[in-house]
Amino acid sequence: MDLYEHEARALFEEHGIPVPRAEVTDSPQEARAIARRLGGSAVVKAQAKTGGRGKAGGVRLAADPAEAERTTRRILGMDIKGHRVGRVMLAQPVDIEAEFYVAYVLDRAAGRFLAIASAVGGMDIEEVAATRPEAVVRVPVDPAEGVTSATAGAIAQAAGLPPQTVDVLVRLWEVLVREDALLVEVNPLVRTRQGQILALDGKVTLDDNARFRQARWGADSISYDDPLEAAAAAKGLTYVKLDGEVGIIGNGAGLVMSTLDVVAGCGARPANFLDIGGGASAQVMADGLSVILSDPAVKSVLVNVFGGITACDAVADGIVRALDEVRPTKPLVVRLDGNNAACGRTVLDEHAHPLVEQATTMDGAARRAAALVNTG
């Protein structure tokens, strides 16, 4: 889960990393009051979980409280790369003398975290890495040792960062470990003309798997852009809305992704990704199908299940349950193979719903579901 900038800022502050004074709001009037509290002028920053906010006009300097209110009004509701801006953060402007980049990121291949640091901050770090690779320092972190002052000192020295950043590097590692983060990034980390080190902007990605031991995350901390995604999440399903017409449901992320690809290969567009997971019950299947059938964009539905642990007869029972509850008007193509497939097929044959047809292969099922988009 990615955090908003203001959430990352709050985590940094909690762990003793110096940050500029700032407050967050969704109200232009409140923004005026915040600017006044910050001393008059403020940087108004759109809160959206995407890069390029500055280029999109989502980050602006307001010279006084009245301008802060006007600017906030302009930024709220803005669409930045598909993310609607619901809140802004107002931060106290700082006099920047130098900008740096520091991050800890997972190196999947090495199975450990990597410190990345550069004295060239504030820019797109990918671009810096591409054009001036020598300016970006990468240091693997030993999982057993973590980042001590000594390690941090070595990282800072290698990257050409001032000595005051060593403490930030140590504390940033604490954020990564204590908060179960997969990524912590400060860009830019700045030195002000007054000689102060400040984390001006940050990005934090938390590990969803660690939710069980990070109590304060709470379910309300996740926001869904799409009502169908929210409905699916409430039922514990992994659902992603896409912009096509073929509703897709299957078991296992790999097989569902593959099903999306095969449908696209047949010239149709998938309407969603929906994984009912391993060993799914009839109820899970029924819930999943209900979500898909309630999507007005869906013109046909493809159910592709290879039962490993999942029993195909339970899947078939779930399909029948959903058909009875939702009373669909869209055709369904069902492909069941693997564990108890024969039983599952019999359940559907006996139910004999006029909108349901079965296919014997994955490719055949995809072709049929794609063809039905135009007849449905």
Partner 1 sequence: MAIFLTKESRVLVQGMTGGEGMKHTRRMLAAGTNVVGGVNPRKAGQAVDFDDRVVPVFGSVADGMRATGADVTVVFVPPAFTRAAVVEAADAGIGLAVVITEGVPVHDSVAFTSYAKKKGTRIIGPNCPGLITPGQSNAGIIPADITRSGRVGLVSKSGTLTYQLMYELRDIGFSTCVGIGGDPVVGTSHIDCLAAFQDDPDTELVVLIGEIGGDAEERAAAYIRDHVTKPVVGYIAGFTAPEGRTMGHAGAIVSGSAGTARAKKEALEAVGVRVGDTPTETARLVLSLLDTVHEASEA
Neighbours of 101 (CB within 10 A): 25
Provide the minimum distance between the beta carbon of 130 and partner 1 in the complex, in angstroms, as a whole number. 9
Beta strands in 29-122 (DSSP E): 42-46, 59-62, 79-80, 83-84, 88-91, 96-107, 112-118
**Of residues 60 and 241, the one with the C-beta less far from partner 1:** 241
Among positions 186-245, residues that touch partner 1 (CB under 8 A) are: 187, 203, 205, 207, 209-210, 212-213, 240, 242
**CB of 174 vs partner 1, minimal distance in Å:** 12
**Count, residues in the chain:** 376
Q: Does position 55 bind partner 1 by CB under 8 A?
A: no
Give the CA count within 13 Å in the CB-facing half-sphere of 124.
10
Minimum distance, C-beta of residue 67 to partner 1, in the bound complex (Å): 31
Q: Which of 5, 23, 67, 185 is catalytic?
A: 185
Residue 66 CA to residue 167 CA, distance in Å, equals 38
Decide if 275 contacts 253 (C-beta within 8 A).
Answer: yes
Q: Judged by CB, which is closer to partner 1: 57, or 308?
A: 308
Q: Return the number of the residue (38 or 173) whose C-beta is nearest partner 1.
A: 173
Q: Which residues contact 57 (CB under 8 A, 6 or more apart)?
A: 75, 78
Name which of residues 287 to 316 contact partner 1 (CB under 8 A). Answer: 306-309
Build a one-symbol-per-residue string for 165-194: x at contacts with partner 1 by CB under 8 A, - elsewhere: ------------x--x-xx-x-x-------
Question: 199: which strand partners?
Answer: 189
Q: Does the annotation mark 101 as catalytic?
A: yes
Query: Applying CB under 8 A, does 143 fall inside the site for partner 1?
Result: yes
| Dihedral in degrees, nearest 10, Cα atoms 252, 254, 260, 261 | -160
Cβ-based nearer residue to partner 1, 32 or 241: 241
**Contacts to partner 1 from residues 326-355, by CB under 8 A:** 337-339
- Say whether 185 is catalytic: yes
Bridge partners for 226 per DSSP = none
Among 29, 148, 361, 374, binds partner 1 (CB under 8 A): 361
Locate tokens 């912590």: which residue? Answer: 184
Q: Using the rule CB under 8 A, give the single segment among 100-108, 166-174, 216-224, 316-324 that binds partner 1.
A: 100-108
In the annotated binding site for Mg(2+), the residues are 187, 201
Whether 29 and 66 have beta carbons less than 8 Å apart is answered as no
Measured from the CB of residue 124, what is the shortest distance to partner 1 in angstroms? 7
CA distances from 281 to 13, 78, 350 (A): 45, 42, 20
- CB 205, CB 3: distance < 8 Å: yes
363 binds partner 1, rule: CB under 8 A:
yes
Q: What angle do CA 325, 331, 334 make, to 5 degrees?
A: 85
Q: Is the peptide bond before 188 cis (omega within 30 degrees of 0)?
A: yes
Distance in Å, CB of 142 to partner 1, minimum: 8
In whole angstroms, give the CA distance from residue 71 to residue 55: 15
Any contact of residue 262 with partner 1 (CB under 8 A)? yes
Residues that bind partner 1 (CB under 8 A): 2, 49, 51, 103, 105-109, 111-114, 116, 124-126, 129, 136, 138, 142-144, 177, 180, 182-183, 185, 187, 203, 205, 207, 209-210, 212-213, 240, 242, 250-255, 257-258, 260-265, 270, 273, 278, 306-309, 337-339, 361-363
Catalytic residues: 101, 185
